[in-house]
Amino acid sequence: MRTLHLVALLPLSLAACGDGSFGTGIPPETVLDEADGDQLGDLCVAISNELLALATGPIQRTICTSLGIGLDSAAVSCQEVRGDCLNEAEPPVVTSCDAVDVSAFDACDTTVGELEDCMHELRANIRRVESQISCGLTRSELAAIDTDNLFPARCTALGEECPALGMLLNFDIDMTE
């Protein structure tokens, strides 16, 4: 029987939990290689805050619930494992957006609007998976949940087009047996 293990690695910045909406405050038509240092700093903080909100919210709940399902037995319940996991979760690694290298975004034709679309899709995908996982599932039902396309293809494409942006969007979900 396959057990789902989720490992989320997110480079994160100065933190504030979001309300579920993502926005940069920068006009969506702004091309990143034309943005100034302040705009790129704001963009870095917005991305980092969104990733932090996801990591400490739906991703952590999904990981802990999955762990609970995997360890559920007569000795310990899924709810107990989930609760302990949530209470003992390490805070994510926080990095700084104080000194964004503007030159790293040279030749980056991505627009702020494209990035915002990526982040909206990422949040929706994570919420979709989270909504499917509960302590009422069996291990085999958990293994059947499709998480293959959790990270949107558009985000991967943006990271390839703009490597500096790709470093901010570094997000890895490891599915092991």
6 residue type, one letter: L
Instruction: Decide if 1 contacts 140 (C-beta within 8 A).
Output: yes
> CA 133 → CA 45, 82, 93, 147, 174, distances in Å?
30, 12, 25, 11, 17
* Confidence at residue 92, expressed as pLDDT on a 0 to 100 scale: 81
Rounded distance, CA 49 to CA 14, Å?
Answer: 7
Q: How far apart are the first and last CA of the chain?
A: 8
- pTM score, two decimals? 0.79
Mean pLDDT over 47-58 rounds to 90
pLDDT tens digit string along 60-114?
A: 999 999 999 999 998 999 999 999 999 999 888 776 788 788 888 998 999 999 9
- Check the CA dihedral 133-134-136-142 and report its sign: positive
Instruction: Decide if 3 contacts 70 (C-beta within 8 A).
Output: yes
Q: What are the boundaries of each domain within the chain?
A: 8-13+30-173
Per the structure block, which two tokens stand in for 173?
């979900």
Mean pLDDT over 18-33 rounds to 79
pLDDT tens digit string along 108-160?
A: 999 999 999 999 999 999 999 999 999 999 999 999 999 888 889 999 899 88
